[in-house]
Structure 1
Amino acid sequence: MYKNLNYYMILIILSQLFNIIIAYGQKFIPEPRLGVVSVLIEDRIYYIGGDDPSKTHSEANPENDIFYLDLNIKENFLTWVDLKVKFPIISGHAADVGGINQDSIFIIGGNHYDEKNTNYFYRFDTKTNELSVPVIQGKAPPTRVARNSVSYEGKMYLFGGRAYTPVGSALIYVNQLDIFDTVNLIWQVGSIVNSPGTLSGYTATLVNGIIYYIGGRSQQYAFSPMTEIYQYDIVADKWSLKKATTADTNAIPGPRAAHSAVLFDGKIYVYGGLYFNADTPYDVPAKETFVMLDTVTLVWSVPPYNSTNAPKLAYHSASLKGALLIFAFGIQTDLPQAENKNNNSTYYFYLNKPIIDWSSEPLSGTKQLSPSSTISIVTKTPDTPTETALPSSQYTMGKMVIVGTSVASVLVVLTIIVACSLIYKRIKSNQKIKRESNNPDGQGAFNGVEIPPDGNKHSYLQQYPPVYPPVYQQFAPQQLQPHSITGMPSPPIQQH
């Protein structure tokens, strides 16, 4: 036991000296998938649904799961946690936070591969881990795929998407703004005057009460230009079209679908996506993998980032915690068609860096070096920003992944480990001689430094806790009489 404790102490000291991220392996390792949706609630990123395109429906497990990535800032380790919640496989669905206390996740629509299951609406309670089919009021919209949602003051806003169609038949694109009141459990509709018309595969980003719709396509081969930014004012229930520009005409981002977008420091960061037309034999990565839109000037630019070996992703999930942008799952669009394109890693981008740095960690927990110095969360006060090391939740005694800054740093670390081991053995030898002289019966007390059972929580964390973790406003429900409503089953749709 003492040997393990001192080994952990050495690793913690090294993590301080050389900014090494230590990620312990765990029993649960999520499988690759695309079409997964991520929802951030407090310090957990919940992942819902998705399927493995490399497996046939007969090969795949007919049930899906809900799990989360623990970002608890009490410790400096990342952990996947399986909630063991099962429901039919779905992909292309929408999910967002809601409920009276904003602690539930509502899962809406998507592809179902179990045609006998007619439920296309679920509620997941993050406090009790209970999955249920709620009773909804109002006229439920038909089940749709490839649409994103925004949560604002207890309501989910879902625009467009595509309806179900049999494989090989024409795709049906939708022009409708559906609003779901997550507090009173009732469907509503919003204005579509001056809306984009039909649109799917886009991103929806909330900026001060206004939703920015970026990318996507209105028909099979009709992609929305990235210079056209449709905005929906939630309070005014009003649409408008804005024109975006770029300082460098060569850096205009190419059209795309299946990309991601997050808001940080007044700018929308768009990542990945793919493009195709009638002449392309297969999907191709969108031009300019990582782009940034200034929400004040509406000027596109390529953020300064370490683009070396940066992944080209699509159908992935993106979550933002402070200044840390986390990409997971999806496919790698730049791999040859003959290869398995599943993304098997989680990527961490640090938006607070002058040059945005990033690191990666495989889902399997195998060893991999990181080009970044640390994972961090930046929280802002009205005066100055503070930075806190990003943690994970458990001190698992499993295999470890030590992520360093460079090969040179690893060599230095190995040298120090050897030196520390020799010093430790010398100290133990001296202690043994001393104990034997003071305690002839050999029952001397352990004189090493104790580590609490849950690990050293303070030695390598900065002393500044987050100033404002995600706070969800509580909303009071209206007095409404519920009645049951169900979705409509239909066959799976084709990819495009």
Structure 2
Amino acid sequence: MKYLPVPNETKDLNLIRVNSFVPEGRAEHNAILVDKKLYFHGGWFWNGTVSRSPINVLFYLDTSIPFTISDKSLMPWIDHSSIIGAINRTGAPACIDMFKASIFFIGGDYSVNAITKFDTTIQQWSIPSISGPIPLSGSLKYVPCVSLGNEIYIYGGNTSISAMNKLNTLNLSWSILSYTISSSKTQGYSATLLNDLILYIGGTNKLQANHLI
């Protein structure tokens, strides 16, 4: 919420700025904080039946501006849906590069391209060309990713293979670190970076595209 200054003769008035963009509720989107901006992308709208409507909207919440959550129309939302290049993507992980400038959106449902990148500095989408053993289409969904330096780590996915995939964001290449990780829970887990170690907790291996989570 912002109160705009008014002339002295109208000091008894307070003008409240209301944002024209207010996001609708959604599910299976991702969210990532970059320089005090909380970016949201993808997901789907529930239409009241058994079907879903995937979306490609990108927007952020400016957390550098004080706000309350009592009225979301007064929160500092910024809409980036007019920027060309976003694609429909649900259940996809999102990670930042080592320069804290570009967001990599990886895998998920409905995605034509395995990876898209959004440069938050110049506000531009791109589709990077990635070499190496590219994960199977649709396999990297309902999983988090972890950024460590110039590398992004993603374990498992919508697959029975307990593989650790690594994406190098500098030379834009995939590699597989191991097929012998003991955990059989390849989806729906949490992944936390702790002193250069990744702590995996919980999860399942039975999530499907039509499950509500």
Q: TM-score range by the shorter chain?
A: 0.7 to 0.9
1:482 maps to what in 2? none
2:97 maps to what in 1? 98
Q: Which has the higher contact order (CA 8 A, sep 6+)?
A: 1
Structure with greater Cα Rg: 1
Matched residue SS, 2:80: strand
Equivalenced residues, count: 195
Greater per-residue helix proportion: 1
**Using a 3 Å threshold, how does the CA distance of structure 1 residues 181 and 56 change in structure 2: closer, same or farther?**
farther
Distance 1:136 1:198 in 2: 27
Distance 2:11 2:176 in 1: 59
CA root-mean-square deviation = 2.7
Gaps of 5+ in 1: 12-22, 164-172, 221-491
1:42 maps to what in 2? 35
Residue 146 in structure 1 maps to residue 142 in structure 2: yes
Distance 1:111 1:191 in 2: 24
1:137 maps to what in 2? 131
Q: Is the 8 A contact 2:41 2:57 kept in 1?
A: yes
1:494 maps to what in 2? 210
Distance 1:188 1:200 in 2: 20
The aligned runs of 1:118-129 (5 Å cut-off) are: 118-129=112-123
Give the TM-score of the pair, scaled to structure 2.
0.80
1:65 maps to what in 2? 57
**Using a 3 Å threshold, how does the CA distance of structure 1 residues 195 and 6 change in structure 2: closer, same or farther?**
farther
* Structure 1 residue 194, shift from structure 2 partner: 4.2
Distance 1:26 1:215 in 2: 39
Distance 2:42 2:154 in 1: 18
Gaps of 5+ in 2: 1-5, 68-74
1:236 maps to what in 2? none
The aligned runs of 1:352-363 (5 Å cut-off) are: none
* Structure 1 residue 188, shift from structure 2 partner: 1.3
1:233 maps to what in 2? none
* Structure 1 residue 82, shift from structure 2 partner: 0.3
**Using a 3 Å threshold, how does the CA distance of structure 1 residues 137 and 50 change in structure 2: closer, same or farther?**
same
Matched residue SS, 1:217: coil
**Using a 3 Å threshold, how does the CA distance of structure 1 residues 195 and 493 change in structure 2: closer, same or farther?**
same
Q: Is the 8 A contact 1:49 1:90 kept in 2?
A: yes
Q: Is the 8 A contact 1:102 1:154 kept in 2?
A: no
Matched residue SS, 1:91: coil
Residue 89 in structure 1 maps to residue 88 in structure 2: yes
Residue 208 in structure 1 maps to residue 195 in structure 2: yes
Residue 45 of structure 2 aligns with an amino acid whose one-letter code is: D
Residue 200 of structure 1 aligns with an amino acid whose one-letter code is: Q
Distance 1:5 1:124 in 2: 44
Residue 79 in structure 1 maps to residue 73 in structure 2: no
Matched residue SS, 2:178: coil
Q: Is the 8 A contact 1:140 1:187 kept in 2?
A: yes
* Structure 1 residue 24, shift from structure 2 partner: 5.2
Distance 2:122 2:100 in 1: 14
1:312 maps to what in 2? none
Residue 24 of structure 2 aligns with an amino acid whose one-letter code is: E
1:403 maps to what in 2? none
**Using a 3 Å threshold, how does the CA distance of structure 1 residues 28 and 57 change in structure 2: closer, same or farther?**
farther
Distance 1:182 1:174 in 2: 23
